[in-house]
Amino acid sequence: MTLVHSQSVKNQISLRFKNITLLLDNPEFDLQKPTVFYIHGYVEIASDASVLCVMDAYVKRGDYNILVLDWANLAFGNYLNVVVNIKKVGKESGKALGKLLKNGLSVEGLHLVGHSAGAHVAAVVARVLKKNNFTVPRLTGLDPAYPGFYPAIDTPPIGSKDAVFVDIIHTDSGKYGTPFSTGHADFWPNDGKSTQPGCPPVTLILTNENFCSHWRSWQYWAESVTGGSFVARKCTNYNAFLKGNCSETAHMGLLAKPELRGNFYLRTAANEPFALGETGFI
């Protein structure tokens, strides 16, 4: 597990689970701040752009403790083996967080955020904590992985029962990401499918270009953390959204309110900044 320095993502402190309570004595860890626990996805490492982008966004905000789960040693190789590893990774991570909660960390400010397979790891973490009487207030899935979870090979996928508020951002539904509504609030930018605006329409499998739409989920999330305004409308489907047959508006990303329920649609720009504000739902 990695604690990110409040001033720069270049300054990180790594701790093994067996020594996790040392985190509470670290001057960079402020018990008065909420804590975000970020979990990367398949074939990713903690120094990848996806993780650094999200970490940097929280550093810029300055009002969160930032913890990152580095499970790269179990996130590579045969995908089916990785899917089976998720339950083990989630259980051990949940036990570690449980130690922190029992020794002074406030559960009220805890926010679990997972990308792709990491979303399902985060769900297991939340379940472990719930068994120990710690209910996670918010769990966010960034394009939760589809293959191996619908139907589930080993671990049930992320769902609305896992935390008080579960919000999902879909960007590659039906391919790398799930096409199903699984949270209290599910956001579908550009219908939640590939090809997301700005991504190449034709790609080779398992290349950076091929992951473009899948990766948009953490890019949108990071931008929302630093103030990007992703305004969506609650609607029955994307066609109804395009026709303007929707009413209720909501923010996708960090500002999503816990009382939200249903499916929400919006448009984004093809390049950064991706957020279109109120023009994204017209």
Could you give the dihedral angle defined by the CA atoms of residues 203, 212, 266 and 167, in that order, rounded to the nearest 10 degrees? Answer: 130
Annotated catalytic residue: which of 214, 217, 224, 251? Answer: 214
Half-sphere exposure of 22 (CA within 13 A, CB side): 11
Catalytic residue at 143?
Answer: yes
Please state the separation of Cα 162 from the chain's center in Å.
14
Cβ atoms of 193 and 176 within 8 Å: the answer is: no
Catalytic residue at 116?
Answer: yes
Query: How is residue 226 written in tokens?
Result: 């630093």
CA-CA distance, 29 to 111, in Å (whole number)?
15
Annotated catalytic residue: which of 143, 162, 167, 191? Answer: 143
Q: Where are the beta strands (DSSP E) in the chain?
A: 2-4, 12-14, 35-39, 65-69, 110-115, 138-142, 165-169, 185-189, 230-234, 249-252, 262-266
Catalytic residue at 111?
Answer: no
Annotated catalytic residue: which of 6, 50, 116, 224? Answer: 116
Which of 192, 195, 177, 183 has the alpha carbon at shortest distance from 258?
A: 183
Counting every residue, how long is the chain? 282
The residues annotated with a catalytic role in the active site are 116, 143, 214
